[in-house]
Amino acid sequence: MESNIRNLHDEIKNLQLQRVVLSLVPTNKTPWSVVVEYFRLFRFGVNPSATVAQLRTAAESNYPFNPPIQRDFLAATMTPDVTDGTVSGIDAIMRSWKHVSLCFNGFQVDVKSLENGPDDSVIVTTKQHVTITENMLKYTFPHLIDDSGGYSHLATKLLRQQILIRGSVHFKWNSENGRVTSFLFKADMVTPILHLLHNLEDVSDVFRSSRLTPECGVVTGL
């Protein structure tokens, strides 16, 4: 009897978790609805928005572990081999998001426009205000910090400066299975860094061993 009751409770918890996850997936999946929900969930990097946090808290009260809401959304709306142009696969995408969130303390990306592209694709333009913190130097430009923790002259120039990063994301859509196959993100980090350092040679030194490319792509294999 007790075993049956426990099994029933487990089934209820599973159903409640599935309901929370499914509520994040647009009922009528279109390229635009998926893209809009993607940016709502990932606007602050790997940390959810307040609305999603409330859903997660509600789920946790009925489930013994923290459900990976953002990953489940990717799995429900994108192909298993989805790529961001650097890595492929849901888990690899999540690892990239984690790295980007570490690099940009207080990460927040704002959508400026959405446009229809060829073959049901969607092109999104974005902007992001960033303050170059010690955390960002540590995770993004570690070569500018020596083994004893001392800052190079370039790190000193960059620290606590604010920059505006403009970018775009091109979401490609498979109309046959109703899923995103790729979302290629490109941004311009060179221009704002150049405004701070005033010469291309220093900018080149900043990105020479950086963990992000000048287009804000994650450098793999480091």
CA 196/CA 41 separation, integer angstroms: 32
Give me the pLDDT at residue 46, please: 79
CA 183/CA 170 separation, integer angstroms: 5
Contact (CB, 8 A) for 41 and 48: yes
Domain boundaries, the chain: 1-52+59-208
Give me the pLDDT at residue 216, please: 85
Could you list the mean pLDDT of each consecutive 10-residue stretch along the chain, which spans 222 residues? 55 47 60 93 68 43 49 93 93 88 82 93 94 91 91 95 95 95 94 96 94 84 56
Give me the pLDDT at residue 54, please: 42
Give me the pLDDT at residue 42, please: 87
CA 197/CA 121 separation, integer angstroms: 37
Q: Which residues contact 46 (CB under 8 A, 6 or more apart)?
A: 70, 94, 97, 98, 101
Give me the pLDDT at residue 7, please: 54
> What is the token pair recorded at 161?
């400066």
pTM value? 0.76
Give me the pLDDT at residue 113, please: 95
Domain 1-52+59-208 has CATH 3.10.450.50: yes
Give me the pLDDT at residue 187, please: 93
Distances (CA, A) of 165 to 110, 130, 136, 139, 156: 10, 7, 14, 18, 20
CA 185/CA 169 separation, integer angstroms: 4
